[in-house]
């Protein structure tokens, strides 16, 4: 078989493959649920209901989407420039760590001062963490996929060490968790009485800003050029190394905001289970969004919906929650094929 | 010469037709090759030669028509069928694995994949024998990456002979060779004919076609438009038939040289892998003059192009622009110094395939007004600039929003030309500016270079095509192993004279002459 | 006990070889993929799947060797998915690889929960037992280390030899290497680049799965989550460290495992007791990064690694 580019894909050509990818994902998930003894036709309904069916469910989905928007943006920004940042998980924890240190009473500042300070320093921490593999890539040509992955393991052990050591909450009954944040260090709720904090608003704002950077600034142009053709970018005079470093700083900073938002907004302290893999799931979010910063919002809601919905379905009919992870992995793999098929046709020879 | 039409038919293509969507790449093409015969296959890019060869080698299946080798039909769509039937192809872009040895490259795929061993001893003996029979000297255990271009081509021919090929197809085999290496190649080919092989010779170089072929077949727009004995035709006639009308090659009147705009003073650059760097180069580009750089590829052209284009800095020596030393040198510095750069590979370095025309048009100047101010892009200005190039350089495309991937090579090159020439640059670096273009686009690019020269620009033309260099250049330098020959004025050297310098023997003679 | 003393004990080297064994399988698997031109980031997930599949097969009543075969087959299955997407479709090997890791991991966990819904601590099987090779195992120091291991460890060493011989001494290996150096050369000889690359990815993935299975069937005797714990990513670093050569990759795996075994022992010394255990656990990952940095200057990467091949292009 051979792939032939399509000059002007029709609307059907553009929409059919992604729709088929989603449909196939749902069918596979239903069949897998059947293995667990569930009614396959009920699965999709239960997931949707669990994700969006009530005000409580919807808020839960929005809360879950918040860190995913940040990590999705981080990955989208990096992948656009072909910087394979698989380390959003560690960068998230770097941001969370900064909040846990500064927000638990170390800085007794008013909220208007404390929150921006923590956010900025969190971004710096995440940026620095990705700077190391980015420099190794630019200077020595060390593949960043493996280094960012390995740093995830190293950094989580580092957090574990701190939580059992200097950061351990004396009131924590021996659990490895940090002390609670002071009230000034907490992100307020968007609407009083509803369990949705300003981290979500910040995520939306971040998406718009990243979109503007990407589409309207020279940096965005440089990042896309470097990602699409490094040789041509270098020949044209685009400082490839510097662009990659800037990309890394932006990407690491965005991922760290996920940690900031989770600790200051939702949890109020740092634990080792702060993130159930938000950094890795960010890759799925970014790919489903076609690396588009605004698309990340929709993709994060979709992915968060599947997680929240699958949790609720699992409670209702006893299908293991890992079904959600299977659905997302399947959706990711089918979607990359689908996107290819919107632009190329398969020719049998 | 024996009457070859009565000799045995070894290859017969019968009414081969192949369409890609609306494009008919091959339209009922028929062709017959006899034992001991050399057919020259001519045609512009896009005339259908590559498609025809891909059908012969099973990469594509023809919509209709058939292929017969030695009297038996060839299974369509099977890449092994032609090889097993004794057809061997030497591609223009060599298909060799660089990090593997000659022996490994030659034996690749010649034994069943599941066979237990490689039997290197027998393979080595056979390669040595073939090399002797066909005058193709190569060391079987040498790594490909250590070989010269000429040696690599010998390995490609050995690959075909090792498989007992009775028919050799050579795609633009002389494009990368010195005149002397071309003579050697022709000697090998004549040996092959004497041993009963048959040859299809694909080329643009009409004097070579005249020298080696018995018959000429010309393709245009997927059809055979001419077929006949070579003896009954001449170069001018062939060229006219190829493009379907008279060829108006731009005539280059001598230029009027002005001041030196760019000079290299004893510049040395490091070697890169097997390709040499520059060896203390002394060299100037003068206003109003085209300086041609001839040489076999991989002799330092890339280093010189990269140096002038700002990609690398001199390790030793100095670069001077309009008489002043250059301190900081980068691609951006080169662009700002008014150097228009036409890169060697328009796909890999000249353009970004998934960017549209506007985005590609501003690739070098996006940081400057009006395309951006203080980090903010002005897309309207970019679109206007692209539209201006599209109109004044006749780029055929739906509009500035078209992704450049969808353009033909000629139109892509016109966009690059427009991008760099639009600002009336003082210096033009044209690295293989017409490689792979059809004659119409070639003439267009050449006339633009001549026009730029006539308004006072200094042009550096780097090409492996000696004919192109000799037709356009006011002054010719030959580069060999990173060293530069003295300048030769237009018409003062024959191709054979230049060939001596291309093989690196000029320096010795010069020394001998001086003493 | 000082470090030299540790290095002179047979039990230390026995442990090092045991720790090296799964890495050897998986590193060989990745090496085969990369030699054919395909980076397989599915390795981490495929090891998880292999660990579960082999163990589950034995738990369900199959023998140990059939269990290894089951793991191999499951690995090949994920390799098939990976190679369909990366070879004929030519999709990003980074994205597909991570996707395969997510798919393999999540479907393994799902299958585990389906198979054992109620258990809190996983049941165990009778794993491979050490087999002392007569005479050789009596050689001091290296005897117990090399010749008193489980059969699966012996298989790992045999696989190194087999892979090296196939790669360098057979037409098949020549074709695989050529596919990773210049696929055009392979296609021009009438061979199918797609078939060679897909075959290499499937076989390689099978070996990765066997590497995972070593954990549940030889090193330990049951399956638990997170048990692969980044070993796959470490193997990718080992392939680079071994300069894409089976012999050097073997040395790299043993060297790496020796460091790992050493840190476990230092943890138990008075010196080690004062240091947080997390520092020791970080060492394998830090070592892997250092290995990548050290080798970055002289690595001989297969020229066509991560370059998709589309028939008829150029």
Strand partners of residue B40: B201, B216
Neighbours of chain B (3+ CB pairs under 8 A): A, C
Among B329, B349, B354, B372, which would you mutate to test the A interface (most chain A Cβ atoms within 10 Å of its Cβ)? B349
**Which residue among B330, B341, B406 sits closest to A7, beta carbon to beta carbon?**
B406
- Give the percent of chain B with pLDDT over 70: 95
Residues B482/B272, Cβ–Cβ less than 8 Å = no
Q: Count, in order, helices (H) and strands (E) of chain C.
A: 14, 0
Above 70 in pLDDT, residue A174?
Answer: yes
Q: pLDDT band for position B1 (50/70/90)?
A: very low
Above 50 in pLDDT, residue C313?
Answer: no
Q: Which residues, at least 6 apart from B196, have a Cβ–Cβ distance to it below 8 Å?
A: B35, B36, B166
pLDDT tens-digit map of C151-194: 999 999 999 999 999 999 999 999 999 999 999 999 988 899 99
Above 80 in pLDDT, residue A90?
Answer: yes
Above 90 in pLDDT, residue A328?
Answer: yes
Query: Angle at CA B87, nearest 5°, toward B176 and B14?
Result: 110
Residues from chain B contacting residue A222 (CB–CB below 8 Å): 366
Q: pLDDT band for position C47 (50/70/90)?
A: very high
Q: How far apart (Å, rounded) are the C-alpha atoms in residues A349 and B513? A: 61
Above 80 in pLDDT, residue A117?
Answer: yes
Q: Given this model, what pLDDT does residue C76 score?
A: 98
Q: Given this model, what pLDDT does residue B508 score?
A: 61
Q: pLDDT band for position B245 (50/70/90)?
A: low
- The helix or strand, by DSSP H or E, that contains position B431, with its residue range, turns out to be strand B427-431
Above 80 in pLDDT, residue B489?
Answer: yes
Q: How far apart (Å, rounded) are the C-alpha atoms in residues A292 and A288? A: 9
**Which residue among C91, C289, C297 sits closest to A147, beta carbon to beta carbon?**
C289
Neighbours of chain C (3+ CB pairs under 8 A): A, B
Sign of CA dihedral C176, C181, C182, C183: positive
Supply the DSSP string of B256-323, one letter for each residue: ----EEEEEEEEE---BTTB----SEEEEEETTEEEEEE--TTSSHHHHHHHHTTSS--SEEEEEETT
Nearest Cα neighbor of B377 from B364, B366, B363 is B366
In this prediction, residues B292-321 reach a mean pLDDT of: 89
What is the distance in angstroms between the Cα of A107 and the nearest Cα belonging to chain C? 28
Look at A129-143, A202-216, C131-145 and tell me which has the smallest mean pLDDT: C131-145
Cα B394–chain centre separation: 24
Residues B427/B285, Cβ–Cβ less than 8 Å = yes
3-state secondary structure string across chain A? CEEEECCCCCHHHHHHHHHHHHHHHHHHHHHHHHHCCCCHHHHHHHHHHHHHCCHHHHHHHHHHHHHHHHHHHHHHHHHHCCCCCCCHHHHHHHHHHHHHHHHHHHCCCCHHHHHHHHHHHHHHHHHHHHHHHHHHHHHHCCCHHHHHHHHHHHHHHHHHHHHCCCCECCCCCCCCEECCCCHHHCCCECCCCCCCEHHHHHHHHHHHHHHHHHHHEHHHHHHHHHHHCHHHHHHHCCCHHHHHHHHHHHHHHHHHHHHHHHHHHHHCCCECCCCCCHHHHHHHHHHHCCCCHHHHHHHHHHHHHHHHHHHHHHHHHCCCCHHHHHHHHHHHHHHHHHHHHHHEEEECC
A268 CB burial (10 A radius; 0-12, 13-18, 19+): buried
- Give the percent of chain A with pLDDT over 90: 70
CB contact under 8 Å between C186 and B109, yes or no, is: yes
CB contact under 8 Å between A35 and C114, yes or no, is: yes
Write phi, then psi, for B268 (nearest 5 degrees). -125, 140
Q: Does C65 touch chain A (CB under 8 A)?
A: no
Sign of CA dihedral B172, B176, B180, B181: negative
Among B57, B60, B366, which would you mutate to test the A interface (most chain A Cβ atoms within 10 Å of its Cβ)? B366
pLDDT tens-digit map of C66-82: 999 999 999 999 999 99
Q: Given this model, what pLDDT does residue A62 score?
A: 95
Q: How far apart (Å, rounded) are the C-alpha atoms in residues C107 and C49? A: 8
Pairing of strands B38-42, B215-220: parallel
Residues A163/A270, Cβ–Cβ less than 8 Å = yes
Cα–Cα distances in angstroms (integers) from residue C226 to residues B514, C51, C223, in the given order? 78, 11, 9
Q: Does C305 touch chain B (CB under 8 A)?
A: no
Q: pLDDT band for position A229 (50/70/90)?
A: very high
CB contact under 8 Å between B93 and C312, yes or no, is: no
Residues from chain A contacting residue B60 (CB–CB below 8 Å): 349
Write phi, then psi, for B284 (nearest 5 degrees). -135, 150
CA count, 13 A, side-chain hemisphere, B300: 25
Q: How far apart (Å, rounded) are the C-alpha atoms in residues A66 and A58? A: 12
Residues from chain C contacting residue B57 (CB–CB below 8 Å): 190
Residues of chain B with a CB closer than 8 angstroms to some CB in chain C: 54, 57-60, 79-80, 82-84, 89, 91, 93, 95-100, 104-105, 107-118, 159
Q: pLDDT band for position B515 (50/70/90)?
A: very low
Q: pLDDT band for position B4 (50/70/90)?
A: very low
Residues from chain A contacting residue B20 (CB–CB below 8 Å): 4
Q: pLDDT band for position A298 (50/70/90)?
A: very high
Structure tokens, C85: 């997407």
Among C43, C81, C195, C278, which would you mutate to test the A interface (most chain A Cβ atoms within 10 Å of its Cβ)? C278
Q: Given this model, what pLDDT does residue A270 score?
A: 93
Neighbours of chain A (3+ CB pairs under 8 A): B, C
Nearest chain C residue (CA) to A29: C107
CA count, 13 A, side-chain hemisphere, C208: 38
Q: How far apart (Å, rounded) are the C-alpha atoms in residues B115 and B119? A: 10
CB contact under 8 Å between B353 and A229, yes or no, is: yes
Q: pLDDT band for position C1 (50/70/90)?
A: low
Residues C176/C32, Cβ–Cβ less than 8 Å = yes
pLDDT tens-digit map of A28-42: 999 999 998 888 888
Nearest chain B residue (CA) to A227: B352
CB contact under 8 Å between A232 and B351, yes or no, is: yes
Q: Which residues, at least 6 apart from B194, have a Cβ–Cβ distance to it below 8 Å?
A: B36
Q: Which residues, at least 6 apart from A218, have a Cβ–Cβ distance to it below 8 Å?
A: B366, B367, B372, B375, B376, B377
Residues from chain C contacting residue B171 (CB–CB below 8 Å): none
What is the distance in angstroms between the Cα of A345 and the nearest Cα belonging to chain B? 12
CB contact under 8 Å between C174 and B108, yes or no, is: yes
pLDDT tens-digit map of A142-161: 889 989 999 999 999 999 99
**Which residue among A149, A165, A326 sits closest to C233, beta carbon to beta carbon?**
A149
DSSP state of B172: S
Residues A74/A255, Cβ–Cβ less than 8 Å = yes
Q: Given this model, what pLDDT does residue B188 score?
A: 92
Nearest chain A residue (CA) to C290: A147
Q: pLDDT band for position B513 (50/70/90)?
A: very low
Q: How far apart (Å, rounded) are the C-alpha atoms in residues B476 and B283? A: 11
Above 70 in pLDDT, residue B172?
Answer: yes
**Residue B377 Ramachandran class (φ > 0 left, ψ -120 to 50 alpha, else beta):** beta
Above 80 in pLDDT, residue B441?
Answer: yes
Q: What burial letters (b/e) apply to C279-296, b meaning 16+ CB within 10 Å?
A: ebbbbbbebbbebbeebb
Q: How far apart (Å, rounded) are the C-alpha atoms in residues B166 and B163? A: 9
Residues B227/B215, Cβ–Cβ less than 8 Å = yes
More confident position, C216 or B116:
C216
CB contact under 8 Å between A145 and C289, yes or no, is: no
Q: Given this model, what pLDDT does residue C102 score?
A: 95
Put simply, the chain A residues between 118 and 157 with a CB less than 8 A from any chain C CB are 136, 140-143, 145-147, 149-151, 153-154, 157
Look at A171-175, A201-205, B126-130, B442-446 and tell me which has the smallest mean pLDDT: A171-175
In this prediction, residues A74-83 reach a mean pLDDT of: 95
Q: Does C275 touch chain A (CB under 8 A)?
A: no
Residues A137/C217, Cβ–Cβ less than 8 Å = no
Q: Does C185 touch chain B (CB under 8 A)?
A: yes
Q: Given this model, what pLDDT does residue B250 score?
A: 64
Above 90 in pLDDT, residue B190?
Answer: yes
CB contact under 8 Å between B95 and C184, yes or no, is: yes
Q: pLDDT band for position A198 (50/70/90)?
A: very high
Supply the DSSP string of A35-61, one letter for each residue: HTT--HHHHHHHHHHHHHSSHHHHHHH
Q: Given this model, what pLDDT does residue C289 score?
A: 92
More confident position, A272 or A349:
A272
Pairing of strands B339-342, B488-489: unpaired
CB contact under 8 Å between A5 and B377, yes or no, is: no
In this prediction, residues A91-112 reach a mean pLDDT of: 92
- Give the percent of chain A with pLDDT over 70: 99
SS percent in chain A: helix, strand, coil, step 5: 75, 5, 20
């Amino acid at each position: 078989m051979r792939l032939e580019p399509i000059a002007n894909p029709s609307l059907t050509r553009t929409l059919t493959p992604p729709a088929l990818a989603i449909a196939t994902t749902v069918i596979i998930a239903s069949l897998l649920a059947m293995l667990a003894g569930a009614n396959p036709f009920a699965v999709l309904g239960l997931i949707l209901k669990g994700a969006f069916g009530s005000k409580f469910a919807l808020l839960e989905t929005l809360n879950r989407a918040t860190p995913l928007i940040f990590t999705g943006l981080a990955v989208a920004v990096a992948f656009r420039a072909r910087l394979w940042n698989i380390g959003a998980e560690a960068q998230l924890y770097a941001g969370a760590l900064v909040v846990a240190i500064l927000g638990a009473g170390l800085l007794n500042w008013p909220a208007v001062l404390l929150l921006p300070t923590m956010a900025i320093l969190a971004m710096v921490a995440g940026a620095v963490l990705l700077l190391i593999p980015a420099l190794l890539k630019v200077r020595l040509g060390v593949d960043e996929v493996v280094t960012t992955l390995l740093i995830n393991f190293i950094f989580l052990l580092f957090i574990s060490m701190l939580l059992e050591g200097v950061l351990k909450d004396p009131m924590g009954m021996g659990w490895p968790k940090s002390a609670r944040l002071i009230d000034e260090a907490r992100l307020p709720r968007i609407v009083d009485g509803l369990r949705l904090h300003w981290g979500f608003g910040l995520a939306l704002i971040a998406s718009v800003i990243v979109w503007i950077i990407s589409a309207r600034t020279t940096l965005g142009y440089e990042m896309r050029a470097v990602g699409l053709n490094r040789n041509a970018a270098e020949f044209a005079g685009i400082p490839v190394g510097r662009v990659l470093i800037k990309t890394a700083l932006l990407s690491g900073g965005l991922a760290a905001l996920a940690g900031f938002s989770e600790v200051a907004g939702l949890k109020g302290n740092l634990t080792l289970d702060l993130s159930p893999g938000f950094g890795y799931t960010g890759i799925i979010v970014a790919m489903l969004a076609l690396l588009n910063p605004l698309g990340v919002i929709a993709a994060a809601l979709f992915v968060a919906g599947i997680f929240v919905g699958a949790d609720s379905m699992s409670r209702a009919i006893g299908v293991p929650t890992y079904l959600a992870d299977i659905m997302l992995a399947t959706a990711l793999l089918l979607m990359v094929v689908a996107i290819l098929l919107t632009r190329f046709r398969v020719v049998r020879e | 010469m024996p009457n070859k039409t009565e000799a045995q038919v070894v290859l017969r293509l019968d009414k081969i037709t192949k369409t890609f969507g609306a494009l008919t790449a091959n339209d009922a093409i028929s062709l017959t090759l006899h034992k001991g015969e050399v057919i020259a296959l001519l045609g512009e890019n896009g005339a259908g030669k590559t498609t025809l060869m891909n059908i012969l080698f099973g990469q594509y299946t023809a919509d209709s028509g058939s292929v017969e080798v030695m009297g038996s039909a060839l299974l369509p769509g099977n890449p092994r069928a032609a090889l097993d039937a004794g057809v061997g192809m030497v591609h223009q872009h060599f298909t060799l694995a660089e990090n593997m040895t000659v022996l490994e490259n030659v034996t690749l795929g010649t034994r069943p994949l599941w066979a237990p061993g490689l039997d290197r001893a027998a393979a080595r003996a056979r390669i040595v024998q073939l090399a002797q029979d066909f005058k193709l000297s190569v060391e079987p255990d040498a790594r490909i990456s250590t070989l010269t271009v000429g040696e690599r081509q010998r390995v490609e021919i050995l690959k075909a002979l090792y498989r007992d090929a009775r028919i050799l197809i050579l795609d633009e085999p002389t494009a990368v060779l010195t005149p002397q290496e071309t003579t050697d190649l022709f000697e090998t080919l004549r040996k092959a004919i004497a041993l009963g092989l048959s040859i299809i010779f694909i080329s643009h170089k009409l004097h070579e076609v005249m020298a080696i072929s018995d018959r000429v077949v010309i393709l245009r727009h997927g059809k055979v438009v001419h077929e006949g004995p070579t003896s009954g035709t001449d170069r001018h006639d062939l060229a006219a038939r190829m493009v379907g009308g008279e060829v108006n090659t731009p005539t280059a009147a001598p230029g009027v040289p002005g001041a030196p705009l760019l000079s290299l003073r004893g510049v040395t650059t490091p070697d890169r892998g097997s390709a040499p760097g520059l060896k203390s180069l002394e060299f100037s580009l003068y206003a109003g003059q085209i300086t041609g750089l001839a040489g076999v590829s991989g002799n330092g052209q890339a280093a010189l192009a990269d140096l002038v284009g700002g990609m690398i800095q001199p390790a030793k020596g100095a670069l001077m622009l309009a008489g002043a030393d250059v301190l900081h040198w980068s691609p951006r510095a080169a662009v700002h110094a008014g150097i228009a750069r036409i890169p060697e590979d328009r796909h890999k370095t000249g353009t970004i395939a998934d960017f549209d025309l506007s985005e590609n048009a501003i690739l070098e100047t996006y940081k400057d007004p009006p395309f951006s101010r203080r980090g903010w892009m002005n897309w309207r200005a970019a679109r206007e600039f692209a539209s201006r190039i599209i109109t004044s350089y006749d780029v055929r495309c739906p509009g500035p929003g078209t992704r450049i991937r969808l353009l033909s090579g000629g139109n892509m090159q016109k966009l690059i030309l427009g991008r760099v020439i639009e600002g009336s640059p003082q210096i033009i670096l044209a690295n293989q500016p017409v490689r792979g273009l059809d004659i119409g686009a070639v003439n267009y690019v050449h006339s633009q270079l001549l026009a730029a020269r006539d308004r006072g620009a200094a042009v550096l033309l780097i090409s492996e095509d000696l004919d192109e260099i000799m037709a356009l250049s006011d002054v010719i330098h030959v580069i060999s192993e990173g060293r530069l020959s003295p300048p030769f004025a237009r018409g003062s050297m024959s191709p054979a004279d230049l060939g001596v310098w291309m093989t690196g023997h000029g320096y010795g003679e010069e020394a001998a002459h001086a003493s | 006990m000082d470090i030299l003393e540790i290095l002179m004990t047979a039990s230390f080297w026995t442990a090092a070889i045991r720790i090296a064994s799964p890495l050897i399988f998986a590193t060989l698997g990745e090496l085969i993929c990369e030699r054919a031109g395909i980076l397989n980031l599915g390795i981490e997930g495929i090891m998880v799947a292999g660990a579960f599949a082999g163990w589950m097969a034995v738990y369900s009543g199959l023998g140990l060797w059939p269990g290894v075969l089951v793991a191999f087959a499951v690995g090949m299955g994920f390799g098939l998915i990976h190679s369909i997407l990366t070879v004929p479709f030519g999709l990003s090997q980074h994205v597909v690889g991570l996707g395969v890791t997510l798919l393999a991991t999540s479907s393994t966990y799902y299958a585990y929960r389906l198979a054992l819904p109620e258990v809190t601590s996983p049941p165990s099987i009778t794993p491979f037992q050490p087999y002392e090779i007569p005479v050789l195992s009596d050689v001091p120091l290296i005897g117990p280390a090399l010749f008193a291991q489980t059969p699966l460890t012996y298989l790992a060493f045999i696989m190194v030899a087999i892979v090296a011989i196939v790669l360098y001494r057979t037409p098949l290996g020549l074709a695989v290497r050529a596919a990773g150096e210049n696929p055009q050369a392979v296609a021009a000889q009438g061979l199918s680049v797609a078939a060679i690359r897909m075959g290499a990815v499937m076989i390689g993935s099978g070996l990765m799965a066997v590497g995972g299975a070593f954990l549940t069937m030889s090193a330990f005797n049951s399956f638990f989550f997170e048990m692969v714990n980044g070993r796959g990513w470490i193997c990718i670093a080992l392939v680079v460290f071994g300069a894409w050569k089976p012999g050097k990759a073997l040395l790299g795996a043993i060297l790496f495992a020796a460091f790992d075994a050493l840190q476990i022992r230092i943890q138990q010394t008075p010196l080690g007791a004062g240091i947080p255990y997390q520092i020791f656990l970080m060492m394998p990952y830090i070592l892997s990064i250092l290995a990548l940095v050290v080798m970055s200057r002289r690595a001989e990467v297969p020229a066509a690694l991560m370059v998709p091949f589309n028939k008829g292009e150029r």
